[in-house]
Amino acid sequence: MRDEAGGVRAAYRDYAAWYEAQDRVWLARQDRAAEGFFRRTGITFNVYGEDAGAERLIPFDMVPRIITAAEWDKLSRGIEQRVRALNAFLHDLYHKREIVRAGRLPERLLAANAAFLPQMVGFTPPGGVYTHIVGIDLVRTGPDEFMVLEDNARTPSGVSYMLENRETMMAMFPELFARVRVRPVSDYPRELARSLAACAPAVAGERPVIAVLTPGIYNSAYFEHSFLADQMGAELVEGSDLRVVGGRVAMRTTRGWKPIDVLYRRVDDEFLDPLSFNPQSMLGVAGIMDVYRAGGITIANAPGTGIADDKAIYSFMPEIVEFYTGEKPILKNVPTWRCAEPEALAYVLDNLAELVVKEVHGSGGYGMLIGPTSSKAEIARFAAKLRARPDNYIAQPTLALSTVPIFTKAGLAPRHVDLRPFVLVSPKGIRITPGGLTRVALKKGSLVVNSSQGGGTKDSWVLAE
């Protein structure tokens, strides 16, 4: 919000003037009111691990994260370039593997990769789209520099919090939105429905039937599944509501079985079809992969897209972008050491106290080491894990992430943030919602923004001009 000299940055000028004019007691009351709104609305996530089954509110901070129109223009171009490359990469992986033949990507990254699905080899999804919904995690490392922290091409979550954060802010501070021109995000559910409908298979009618497949109420993102289905006017279904009927995947209704054209699945690949993957799965639909390969349904995102989330694959994204687009990447990667490579492993082991180490398939802030905040005993234990399975890890420098203010009893205080813009892909084009989900590390000095690890969220504003 402020520069090194203490002056207010251009993006925050109107907001800062408004904030300084407000009564602090009233602001504190509004802060408490926001929590009450989230509680009444049921904006929660379920917790796994030691507190399994517990529901928590997503902590919300009412000071927005603000991005100028010029900054967003550059980000949008970089995000679109990256998403185009990801889709082309996935198509190539499951067909000719030209990037491997050209020596730009090692075969070993695919050979024993659990996220690579042989069932997708030689098959092209309807419309040629693999990643219908993408979340690109960005961090700001300088006044004019954003870097991609990771890609979420499998089942990116958090868009419901982006929408609810905006609705909450508009309800609490309507006069602020009259003062600051902010680009809207409320049309995301309609755009999602249109984008998914545009990816429907050839057997679909003029009005494709869309459904959201959820693992059920105990899933950590169930609120989002039900929210998006409701906002799109789509059916929310579980595996037990579906079956293959006459070569189509159909859902149970009061009038019998109704074919589905597009299934927005929030179930992992492993559980999608017990006949093709995990035979013990009760969450998917037996035979859905046969229907899919026969052109009877669109699955969003396509099975097998999880390989694009692999953090070892991520380290090759600059080469991937250039290979498929013929352009230099607009958005940089965070420098990454691949621990599967002996020289990189030796460097990482010698410098664990300064690095962040992540599992290649990890998510949610789990299974990682943040060297500067870890004890010698924790570092020693992690070193043993690295030596045992080096191919399971990558390492990155501890970045000087940007901070934005949060509201505290003592006034505004800086906290580290990242940004997850959401991207919709269809044969008609790529659409990026202006803003996204800002996740904030609420603990002073913390770099972990995940809600499962104590992080919160903010409204993300992209200025209209």
pLDDT of residue 219: 87
Q: What gap in Å lies between CA 281 and CA 211, rounded to an integer?
A: 20
Whether residue 84 is predicted with pLDDT greater than 80 in this model: the reply is: yes
pLDDT of residue 73: 96
pLDDT of residue 244: 97
Average pLDDT over residues 79-91: 98
Tell me the angle at which helices 159-172 and 188-197 cross, rounded to the nearest 10 degrees.
150
pLDDT tens, position by position, 18-27: 999 999 999 9
pLDDT of residue 452: 63
pLDDT of residue 272: 97
Q: Where is pLDDT greater, at 47 or 359?
A: 359
The DSSP output letter for 302 is: P
Taking the alpha carbons of 422, 42, 218, 54 in that order, is the dihedral positive or negative? positive
Q: Which pLDDT band holds residue 49 (cuts at 50, 70, 90)?
A: very low
pLDDT of residue 40: 75
Helices (H), 258-333: 288-293, 311-314, 317-325
pTM for this predicted structure: 0.92
The verdict on whether omega for the bond into residue 113 sits within 30 degrees of 0, i.e. cis, is no
Whether residue 337 is predicted with pLDDT greater than 50 in this model: the reply is: yes
Mean pLDDT over the full length of the chain:
92
pLDDT of residue 47: 47
Domain boundaries, given as residue ranges, for the chain: 10-334+399-462, 337-397
Judging by DSSP bridges, how do beta strands 60-67 and 133-142 pair with one another? unpaired
Helices (H), 281-370: 288-293, 311-314, 317-325, 342-350
Q: Which CATH number fits domain 337-397: 3.40.50.920, 3.90.226.10, 3.30.1490.270, 3.90.1640.30?
A: 3.30.1490.270
Average pLDDT over residues 327-333: 96
pLDDT of residue 48: 45
Taking the alpha carbons of 314, 450, 71, 69 in that order, is the dihedral positive or negative? positive
Average pLDDT over residues 93-113: 93
pLDDT tens, position by position, 373-425: 889 999 999 999 999 999 889 999 988 788 999 999 889 999 999 999 999 99
Whether residue 192 is predicted with pLDDT greater than 70 in this model: the reply is: yes
Other CB atoms closer than 10 Å to residue 455's CB: what's the count? 23
Least confident piece of the model among 210-224, 290-304, 444-458: 444-458
Report which of 89, 41, 17, 162 is spatially closest to residue 458, judged by C-alpha positions. Answer: 162
Q: Which amino acid is at 343?
A: E
pLDDT tens, position by position, 344-383: 999 999 999 999 999 887 665 567 888 888 899 999 999 9
Average pLDDT over residues 98-105: 96
pLDDT of residue 4: 86
Q: What gap in Å lies between CA 128 and CA 457, rounded to an integer?
A: 34
pLDDT of residue 107: 92
pLDDT tens, position by position, 220-274: 889 899 999 999 999 999 999 999 999 999 999 999 999 999 999 999 999 999 9
Half-sphere exposure in the Cβ direction for 179 (13 Å, CA) = 13
Least confident piece of the model among 45-59, 135-149, 355-369, 371-385: 45-59
Q: What gap in Å lies between CA 247 and CA 83, rounded to an integer?
A: 32
CA distances to 119, 243, 249, 338, 370 from 438, in Å: 36, 38, 36, 28, 21
pLDDT of residue 211: 98
Helix (H) or strand (E) run with residue 170 in it: helix 159-172
- % pLDDT > 90, the chain: 78
Average pLDDT over residues 269-292: 96
Q: DSSP for 228-277, please give it.
A: HHHHHTPEEE-GGGEEEETTEEEEEETTEEEE-SEEEE-S-GGGT-TTTS
pLDDT of residue 37: 81
Least confident piece of the model among 39-53, 221-235, 295-309, 382-396: 39-53
* Range among 45-49, 186-190, 216-220, 439-443 with highest mean pLDDT value: 186-190
Report which of 72, 84, 229, 220 is spatially closest to residue 151, judged by C-alpha positions. Answer: 84
* Range among 24-38, 82-96, 165-179, 357-371 with highest mean pLDDT value: 82-96
